[in-house]
Structure 1
């Protein structure tokens, strides 16, 4: 009984370590092929449109309501200390440093990341990826590299959009609804935010773009290798679910790690 348990534990450990190594090598190959000729500019633009432009709606909605909630909660917290004039600083710094990059990455994971995992999973089980290899076309370069380049372009821009819309949402709640002087709100925003805050947010968004694209694409690309067999609709469904959950957890993990390194 103990021997069987140890064998099972070792098998699971080797599977996890092997999966991490396979995903890391997958990311390195994808990044390397971005810079190899011929460049796939058309496909990068196509995926930038899908990841970036088509995510703008959900980012704007999420950003404005997040800013409004921060303005509402922040006001009733700060007013207890007679510091409601600092609401602009609280909203801006919270969004730019933390919530902007994190919520943007999670929303893009839910919308675009799940789609990438499902698309590559269907291509794997329908043997389209095998067909590319048969025709001597590198599937990593053809399918993954344009997506990772598009994500690196899109994530910082979407994060910036989220931050601006969120600060405006805080302005709506704080100034238009609760009566804080608009000039004081905007002055606190510009006075408290420094370039290091903005840079830190963009660093996080770049790391999140690599994490989300790598995890989602690798889950779909290696659908056939998952435990229990990955062929069929159930395999694609499982890969997509695992991609979204794993990406969301890693976003929070790397958010803490980067914050600890930058402070």
Structure 2
């Protein structure tokens, strides 16, 4: 099992800062933003930066690397917003290729599901990459695409796209992770196929069941609670990469809970 956190690239070493943080925390999976998540401005790789990142990772225990796309990306939009979203996502795919990262995760956006599919495939066309592009299930609300597993399955059918499964989003969208985590995982497998879900965002939820509220809580302290223990202990998920997404100051606590649930120790 690979597990870890969303870590920062802010520091003198640039992207390699994330590897230093991973080593300090003893984790085997990382997620980063390749640029500011709330700006359309890209971040240019400095000379030698990608090479330094790859070299640092080679000497580390980080087995899975993920880029989370900008929060501004909306693949379901039309016109200029869609074009900017596709370009931003293509930029992340290009960065993943340069850095040697395995996955890029993106929220599908709001609007037309077919436009989401078209946008994801266009980004892959613009920036061919060995990194796999994953569409994340969302909490829902408004015209957001990707709340139901069936919708995600239709989006990725016949494509190289995969899915990132977020436990808090699924709970907020109406999947009873708090009462029947094994059943939710079985449904995920039946509808999408676990082989197409390599990354799991392991998050508790501040908002209640089926409220469409996307607000993460520390493990075991939210509305899902101890049921998340069953998720990480499920035999069907032992080859997946688990990423926790909470504010940085809570990283030690969430790692402590995760390791207590799994029996794993710092690498």
TM-score by length of 1: 0.23
Q: TM-score, normalised by structure 2?
A: 0.22
Select the structure of larger CA radius of gyration.
1
Structure having greater relative contact order (Cα 8 Å, sep ≥ 6) = 1
Higher fraction of helix: 1
